């Protein structure tokens, strides 16, 4: 599932390409992906234009000239493609928004959604989300206070969007590896030094993952050389049984609360 770095990468790349462009056509292949009857959805979007793109956690908000927003959550398996009719992917798009010759394709939205909402409705939909990990006001002390509210394993806390917005399976494991702490550690056993290392790992790793385009492998557009660049930089995620890049011990792949978890049992404690 796309996480904060992947969605921020999409936001930055799409901002350069779609903001200011009028929507000339709307195609919906799966009505359950949207929240309105197709004619109503399409008629509001045609002739409208994008004024800004915002990210909140794992969501993107496409602001429209009308004052409404398109709220996108890709969920598991969702991804975007920006291209022409000629270079589109050989995959069904649940929604396609044309801006002249270029089309924004929304793929894999079997679990995800693209809803047309007022700003107030979008804010209400996301009101359950915790703080943004990279918000300048989210200090180490704030992180420590937040984490100490939980008594679960670290892995469960990281992926809880009510606690902290945007981190999922991949970056939960990568942050714990960088901090040399097992993702299955119970939070009450963490020392202040442990929590400090986790905070520093989070604040350095997430910007790095954004800078390299996140871990999703499908390019956003044909000439895209950025998206997915962090995939080869992941040190433990999806590296089960490979040697740990720090100590050489085999990386463990485990399951915790129905989620995959990757770690090195030798140098994470």
Domains belonging to the chain, first-starting first, are 4-128 (3.20.190.10), 140-263 (1.10.8.50)
What pTM, to 2 d.p., does this model score? Answer: 0.96
pLDDT of 45 reads: 98
User: Could you give the CA distance from residue 252 to residue 184 in angstroms, rounded to a whole number?
Assistant: 12
What is the Cα–Cα distance from 133 to 265, expressed in whole angstroms?
26
> pLDDT for 42-82, tens place per residue?
999 999 999 999 999 999 999 999 999 999 999 999 999 99
Q: Mind telling me the catalytic residues?
A: 2-3, 58, 259
pLDDT of residue 7: 98
Count of other CB atoms within 10 angstroms of residue 151: 10
Regions in the chain scoring below 50 on pLDDT: none
CB 60, CB 11: distance < 8 Å: yes
| Cα gap 107→144, rounded to integer Å | 38
* Residue-wise pLDDT tens digits, 158-177: 999 999 999 999 999 999 99
Rounded distance between C-alpha atoms, residue 164 and residue 178, angstroms = 19
Please give the C-alpha separations between residue 150 and each of 10, 40, 65, 130, 133, in angstroms, as whole numbers: 31, 44, 42, 13, 17
Measured between its terminal Cα atoms, the distance across the chain in Å is 27
- Distance, CA of 51 to CA of 100 (rounded, Å): 16
The predicted pLDDT at position 257 comes to 85
């Amino acid at each position: 599932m796309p996480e904060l770095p992947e969605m921020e990468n999409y936001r930055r790349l799409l901002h350069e390409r779609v903001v200011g462009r009028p929507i000339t056509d709307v195609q919906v292949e799966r009505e359950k992906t949207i929240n309105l009857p197709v004619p109503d959805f399409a008629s509001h979007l045609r002739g409208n234009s994008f004024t800004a793109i915002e990210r909140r956690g794992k969501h993107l908000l496409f602001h429209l000239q009308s004052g409404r927003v398109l709220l996108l959550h890709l969920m598991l398996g969702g991804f975007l493609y920006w291209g022409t009719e000629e270079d589109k992917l050989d995959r069904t798009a649940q929604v396609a928004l044309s801006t002249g010759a270029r089309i924004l394709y929304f793929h894999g939205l079997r679990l995800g959604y693209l809803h047309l909402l007022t700003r107030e409705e979008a804010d209400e939909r996301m009101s359950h989300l915790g703080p943004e990990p990279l918000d300048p006001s989210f200090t180490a002390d704030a992180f420590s206070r937040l984490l100490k509210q939980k008594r679960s394993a670290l892995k469960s806390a990281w992926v809880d969007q009510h606690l902290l917005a945007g981190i999922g399976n991949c970056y939960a494991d990568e942050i714990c590896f960088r901090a040399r702490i097992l993702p299955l550690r119970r939070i009450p056993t963490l020392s202040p030094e442990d929590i400090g290392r986790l905070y520093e790992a989070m604040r350095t790793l997430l910007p790095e993952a954004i800078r390299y385009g996140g871990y999703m492998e499908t390019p956003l557009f044909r000439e895209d050389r950025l998206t997915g660049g962090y995939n080869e930089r992941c040190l433990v995620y999806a590296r089960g049984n490979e040697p740990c890049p720090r100590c050489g011990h085999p990386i463990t792949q485990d399951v915790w609360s129905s989620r995959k978890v990757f770690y090195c049992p030798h140098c994470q404690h």
